[in-house]
Amino acid sequence: MAILILKRIGTMALMMLVVSLIVFLLLEIDKESVAVKVLGVFTTEEQRRLWLEANGYFEPLYLRYFSWLAGFVTGDLGESTVFRVPVSEILWPRLANTAILGVLAMLVLIPLSLLLGVFAGMREGSLQDRAISVVSIITTSVPEFASGIFLVAVFVVGLHLLPGTSTMIEGFDLTQLVLPVAVLVIYDFGYVTRMTRASMAEVMMTPYIRTAVLKGLPFRRVIVRHALRNALIAPFTVIMLQINWLLSGVIVVELLFAYKGFGTLLLEAALNGDIFVIEACTMVAVFVAVATQTIADLGYTLLNPRIRFT
Amino acid sequence: MENHMTRQPLLEIENLAVSYFTRAGEIPAVADFNLRLDAGEAVGLVGESGCGKTTVAMAIMRYLGGNGRIVDGSIRFQDRDLTTMGKEELRQLRGSAIAMVYQEPMAALNPSMTIGAQLMEVPRFHDGATHAEAYERSRELLADVKLADSARLMAAYPHQLSGGQQQRVVIAMALLSNPKLLLLDEPTTALDVTVEAGIVELIRELAQKYGTGMLYISHNLGLIRDTCDRVCIMYSGRAVEMGSVRQLFEQPRHPYTQGLFHCIALPSTDKLARPLKPIRGQLPLPHQRPPGCSFAPRCDHFAAGTCDTPGLKMHEIGGGHEVRCERWRDIDKDAVTVTAPAEAAQAVGEEVISVNDLSKYYAVRDRSVAAMITRRRVRYVKANESLTFTAREGETVAIVGESGCGKSTFAKVLMGLETATDGAIEFQGKDIANTDVQQRSRKQVSALQMVFQNPFDTLNPSQSVGSQIGRVIRKFDSSTDRSKVRSRVVELLDLVKLPRDFMHRRPRQLSGGQKQRVGIARAFAGNPSAVVADEPVSALDVSVAAAVTALLLDIQRRNRTTLLFISHDLGVVRYLADRVVVMYLGRVMEQGTTEEVFSPPYHPYTEALLSAVPVADTRVRKKRIILEGTLPSPLNPPKGCPFASRCQRKIGDICDTTPPPVLASPSGHAIACHIALAELAEVEPVFTVEQADAAE
Ligand code: SF4
Ligand code: SF4
């Protein structure tokens, strides 16, 4: 197991390295455009040359890559060309905001969809199964902005219950998070629910569940002890992928509620050609993707004794 | 059994009818089924797939899935009707008074729970035992089912056990609550014969020890003979004959029962004494069942006006022997012994395949820390080690052995799907051991063809049968034009006795036996001089298998093809092989003519293998040898004789340390063993046929 973890982490590091190389080559190989992006279009050739010179851009490519990489590893991400402050100063708070949103969404999403999925898959074809399946299909097929606007119309405009924006200008305010979290959950729970349901229904058909039932165990025991563990292996992987989705998938929601998160940061950076912010955001996104994948793999192994002990 | 009628029955099934409800409507699976089982009695339920035998067991358990329902009749267990029982009452019976053993032990155990946890649930939930009590009882039962090292097993997961061990665990689980009735659904079908013999022995012993009544479901009449007191034969959802094992095996009355016996090749008798006679036609689908007797379309004794009146009943014909046939009085009860159409022994021609010292090793990378330290990271599985034998023109050579003996690896090397590590296979004068199939000439490929175990996997589902056979023909002979290909396809369909219009059918429209016929037609498309058949009938039902075997044999004889028949079924092997090669752990243990291999001197492994085969003939007495232990890991085979770890005749350390010499008689009968041939010749034969006393 320890070897496996080390191996996975090794692969992960390797993947990050490859991605970093790609990002670097894509964005920095053309020195001129970097200079233009950093200094703006209204600069002279001479100014740009001086800037490039000062920042070591005339060194060989591989040296540039290594110092760029070293900067990344040590947390020196460069300076935002738009805000004129170090990238890390804006990146981390924004990331934290998105993390808060994501964690809250997950806290609602995971128990909700696992519970519904298990209830639906437990008795395939029953009324509860069909009801849950229909609801989850409908909610998943409504895009986030639509459900967002709908919720705003009801709870903000109609009932005046909740604030319509989540700018958090006057400090942290939980009520401002209710609607964004709701939109995320509504959009995503159907997917996880259906995956859980499928997995649960499949497990319920297996001979070992038959064995458990014919052993004379109470139905509760059959579900909790025999079915759940095997049925949750597949959804676990799916849930890990949702974390990944949240990071980029929140853009719409953040925009809709003017929430200062990672998604909006990435969007602004892309629109403004804020090159170092783009680089940093990309690397963060890739890191999350690779990390969740690794955790998913390891978790899968842990949950499945057939792989764990061979 | 004497006072059968007066004793209180444990289980009494009356007029049971079970149907499945699908979109296509109601499909009757079992109808008009009656059965009585006394305490401590063992009743066999026999029939081919689709006959409803498993449905009966599941109806007893009231576990028929979402779409199955008991539509009529009653199932009384200890005087309580199971069909109307409430959920909680049912739960208390399941797994305690009535327990079940399943066909696939691996699938029947929860992969993510330890053996201990799964066992302990039974006493915990049925007897309210404490954790410690439950643990103790479970461990005791593991010892009872002869599993050594029970403490370690309790903590193991199912996949860490061998198939035989898993089935023992399932049996232990069933017996934990001391059931009155045990339902066994093909409990040994997925296991090797020597493992099966151990399990059957165990079941018999335990049932006696605990006085459990058993309903033993199987398609294997030999097993039923070994385990049961009474038998019920099912056909197409109904019981067609019922009686004691003796009655039914010695004087089967129903034409279907008689037909079944004709379909079984026995390892105790050879083909000349007892030819196979397949049942013609095939099982009717539930909605195509004829009115009256459902066996009518396949029956030689059919009489219009009698057999086709609806609602035929069981007739009691004396001594508890019942049969559902209107004409039982007219049918010769001794029809069991058909006379053979005298089969002229075939002269064999010259050598076609000659295997010389062939070895095939697979490298296995060991990634454990221990292996990294000892630097033994690559180890070898010796799948085949020094195989040497020959096959001549027109000869059938059977390669027998249990799973893991290397017979399939050999087939792969022969077919060029793998290349040999060492040694040679000479085929038509050329060494092909190291030429894979792509490098073989078209002639070589067409001359050496294969029939696979699973006809379902080898046919392309989206192409018609005709075009699949046609493609093979064109591959071997590109000069052939369209009309010639077509006429050859017709010829081949005739050869395998399929109707010509099957040309336009797709594989999914065919039954298993028909698919295997197509597989045979494809193999013979290029007029091969040798055909490898890898367990060609083991996936098929008894009556279908008999027909396919007979067909294969017939074609082979007519074309004088060399047939390498890979099988674990010694009955079939005795029936059709001229020579036999017995393999164990990648090595040849014994080879010789069929006559030689099936009579002393035996290699100790052959002897054990033969005695493990259930024989469906009450006149045959069989020596009982139960092998201990499991197959050693091929990664770490014994140093001396490969069979040493399980051998019942092991003579001492020499077996463990020194590979045995090959003792050959002048005729070519070879045995690899340290025991002298003369001594081996002295053991008594495994099978002795009792002279039929007037069992009337
Ligand atoms: S009832 Fe008629 S058709 Fe049926 S088995 Fe008897 S003789 Fe054959
Ligand atoms: S050599 Fe020894 S162990 Fe091997 S079969 Fe002969 S007696 Fe048994």
Q: How would DSSP label each residue in B412-460?
A: HHHHTSS--SEEEEEETTEE-TT--GGGS-HHHHHHEEEE-S-HHHHS-
Tell me the per-residue pLDDT of A112-139, one tens digit each, with 9 for 90 and over.
999 999 989 888 888 888 999 888 888 8
- Cα distances (Å, whole numbers) of residue B420 to B64, B385, B401, B583, B590: 50, 10, 20, 17, 22
**DSSP code of residue B500:** G
Distance CA B129, CA B135 (A): 9
Mark yes or no for CB contact A230/B94 under 8 Å: no
Distance from residue B324's CA to the centre of ligand 1 (Å): 8
- Cα distances (Å, whole numbers) of residue B100 to B179, B213, B327, B360: 9, 12, 37, 42
Considering only CA atoms, which residue is closest to atom 7 of ligand 2?
B650
The answer to whether the beta carbons of residues A164 and A272 sit under 8 Å apart is no
In Å, how far is A288's CA from the nearest CA of chain B? 29
CB < 8 Å from A in window 612-641 of B: none
Distance from residue B384's CA to the centre of ligand 2 (Å): 19
For the Cβ of B650 lying below 6 angstroms from any atom of ligand 2, the answer is: yes
Residue B178, pLDDT score: 87
The answer to whether ipTM exceeds 0.85 is: no
CB < 8 Å from A in window 146-165 of B: 157, 159-160
For the Cβ of B314 lying below 6 angstroms from any atom of ligand 2, the answer is: no
Is the minimum CB–CB distance between A301 and chain B shorter than 8 Å?
Answer: no
Write out the two tokens for A141: 């097929």
Mark yes or no for CB contact A218/B110 under 8 Å: no
- Which ligand is closest to the CA of B673, given by its number? 2
**H-run or E-run covering A197:** helix A175-204
Is the minimum CB–CB distance between B113 and chain A shorter than 8 Å?
Answer: yes
Residue B674, pLDDT score: 93
Write out the CATH class of domain A87-303.
mainly alpha
Name chain B contacts of A309, Cβ cutoff 8 Å.
157, 159-160
Residue B377, pLDDT score: 67
CA angle B92, B96, B98 (to 5 degrees): 100
Distance from residue B540's CA to the centre of ligand 1 (Å): 25
- Which ligand is closest to the CA of B677, given by its number? 2
Q: Indicate whether B81 pLDDT > 50.
A: yes
Mark yes or no for CB contact A216/B367 under 8 Å: no
Name chain A contacts of B93, Cβ cutoff 8 Å.
216
Name chain B contacts of A225, Cβ cutoff 8 Å.
113, 121
Higher-pLDDT residue of B397 and B569 is B397
* Neighbour count for residue B429 (Cβ, 10 Å): 8
Distance from residue B186's CA to the centre of ligand 1 (Å): 28
Query: Mean pLDDT of all residues in chain B?
Result: 86
Q: Indicate whether B344 pLDDT > 70.
A: no
Domain locations along chain A: 2-74, 87-303
Distance from residue B35's CA to the centre of ligand 1 (Å): 21
**Mutation choice for B interface testing from A126, A214, A220, A230 by most B CBs within 10 A:** A214
In Å, how far is A124's CA from the nearest CA of chain B? 9
**Mutation choice for B interface testing from A215, A217, A302 by most B CBs within 10 A:** A215
Tell me the per-residue pLDDT of A244-259, one tens digit each, with 9 for 90 and over.
777 776 788 888 887 8
- Please, is B283 exposed, middle or buried when counting C-beta atoms within 10 Å of its C-beta (0-12, 13-18, 19+)? buried
Name chain A contacts of B371, Cβ cutoff 8 Å.
none
- Which ligand is closest to the CA of B650, given by its number? 2
Out of A20-24, B254-258, B389-393, B609-613, which region has the weakest mean confidence (pLDDT)?
Answer: A20-24
Residue B695, pLDDT score: 40
Q: Residue B321 contacts by C-beta under 8 Å, 6 or more apart in sequence? A: B241, B242, B243, B244, B247, B248, B251, B253
Mark yes or no for CB contact A215/B61 under 8 Å: no
Name chain B contacts of A305, Cβ cutoff 8 Å.
111-112, 157, 159
The answer to whether the beta carbons of residues B526 and B473 sit under 8 Å apart is yes
CA nearest neighbour of B160 among A309, A288, A145, A226: A309
Distance CA B433, CA B356 (A): 10
At A164, phi and psi to the nearest 5? -90, -15
Q: Indicate whether B364 pLDDT > 90.
A: no
Residue B525, pLDDT score: 87
Out of A71-75, B149-153, B380-384, B513-517, which region has the weakest mean confidence (pLDDT)?
Answer: A71-75
β-strands B422-427, B430-431: how paired?
antiparallel
Distance CA B559, CA B555 (A): 6
Write out the two tokens for B430: 């050329």
The answer to whether the beta carbons of residues B359 and B386 sit under 8 Å apart is yes
What is the three-class DSSP state of B305? coil
Name chain A contacts of B95, Cβ cutoff 8 Å.
214-217
How does residue B334 score in pLDDT terms, banded at 50, 70 and 90? low
Residue B531, pLDDT score: 93
Residue B333, pLDDT score: 55
Higher-pLDDT residue of B120 and A300 is B120
Phi-psi region of B613 (alpha: psi -120 to 50; beta: other; left: phi over 0): beta
- The residues that bridge with B390 in the sheet, in sequence order, are B354
Residue B694, pLDDT score: 41
Distance CA B206, CA B147 (A): 14
- Cα distances (Å, whole numbers) of residue B524 to A98, B454, B495, B500, B533: 68, 17, 9, 17, 12
Is the bond into B601 cis (omega within 30 degrees of 0)? yes
Q: Which of B187-191, B282-286, B437-441, B654-658 has the highest mean pLDDT?
A: B654-658
Distance CA B337, CA B629 (A): 39
Distance from residue B678's CA to the centre of ligand 2 (Å): 15
In Å, how far is A211's CA from the nearest CA of chain B? 6
For the Cβ of B299 lying below 6 angstroms from any atom of ligand 1, the answer is: yes
- Please, is B454 exposed, middle or buried when counting C-beta atoms within 10 Å of its C-beta (0-12, 13-18, 19+)? middle
Residue B70, pLDDT score: 93
The answer to whether the beta carbons of residues B79 and A199 sit under 8 Å apart is no
Closest Cα in chain A to B161:
A310
Distance from residue A183's CA to the centre of ligand 1 (Å): 70
Residue B637, pLDDT score: 82
**Mutation choice for A interface testing from B82, B112, B153, B175 by most A CBs within 10 A:** B112
Tell me the per-residue pLDDT of B118-140, one tens digit each, with 9 for 90 and over.
999 999 999 888 999 999 999 99
Q: Which of A156-170, A215-229, A262-276, B195-209 has the highest mean pLDDT?
A: A215-229
How does residue B368 score in pLDDT terms, banded at 50, 70 and 90? low
CA nearest neighbour of B221 among B369, B102, B97, B53: B53
Write out the two tokens for A128: 């509860």
Residue B373, pLDDT score: 63
The answer to whether the beta carbons of residues A126 and A150 sit under 8 Å apart is no
Write out the two tokens for B495: 């050869």
For the Cβ of B644 lying below 6 angstroms from any atom of ligand 2, the answer is: yes
Q: What's at B367, amino acid-wise?
A: R
Write out the two tokens for A219: 């139905």
Residue B199, pLDDT score: 87
Residue B438, pLDDT score: 85
Q: Residue B269 contacts by C-beta under 8 Å, 6 or more apart in sequence? A: B574, B617, B689
Which whole number is the average pLDDT over B332-337?
Answer: 54
**Mutation choice for B interface testing from A129, A208, A303 by most B CBs within 10 A:** A208
Is the minimum CB–CB distance between A125 and chain B shorter than 8 Å?
Answer: yes
Higher-pLDDT residue of B283 and A307 is B283
Q: What's at A204, amino acid-wise?
A: M
Longest dimension (CA), chain B: 82
Distance from residue B305's CA to the centre of ligand 1 (Å): 11
Q: Indicate whether B383 pLDDT > 90.
A: no
Out of A29-43, B261-275, B484-498, B628-642, which region has the weakest mean confidence (pLDDT)?
Answer: A29-43
Distance CA B562, CA B427 (A): 11
**Side-chain half-sphere CA neighbours of B534 within 13 A:** 19
Query: Mean pLDDT of all residues in chain A?
Result: 81
At B568, phi and psi to the nearest 5? -110, 0
* CB nearest A217 (choices: B100, B125, B367): B125
Q: What percent of chain B has pLDDT over 70?
A: 93
In Å, how far is B94's CA from the nearest CA of chain A? 5
Write out the two tokens for B342: 């005298």
How does residue B188 score in pLDDT terms, banded at 50, 70 and 90? confident
Q: Residue A200 contacts by C-beta under 8 Å, 6 or more apart in sequence? A: A117, A118, A120, A121, A122, A227, A231
Tell me the per-residue pLDDT of B85-111, one tens digit each, with 9 for 90 and over.
888 999 999 989 999 999 889 999 999
Higher-pLDDT residue of B530 and A88 is B530
Q: Which of A169-173, B237-241, B692-696 has the highest mean pLDDT?
A: B237-241
Residue recorded with tokens 């999403």: A109
β-strands B562-567, B620-622: how paired?
unpaired
Note every long-range contact of A26-31, with CB atoms under 8 Å and residues 24 or more positions apart, other chains counting.
Answer: A27/A275, A27/A278, A27/A279, A28/A64, A28/A68, A29/A61, A31/A57
Q: pTM value?
A: 0.81
- The pick from B641, B646, B671 for probing ligand 2's pocket by mutation, whose C-beta has the most ligand atoms within 8 angstroms, reads B641
Residue B50, pLDDT score: 82
Residue recorded with tokens 């010694």: B570
Residue B371, pLDDT score: 59
The answer to whether the beta carbons of residues B186 and B219 sit under 8 Å apart is yes
Mark yes or no for CB contact A221/B110 under 8 Å: no
Closest Cα in chain A to B106:
A208
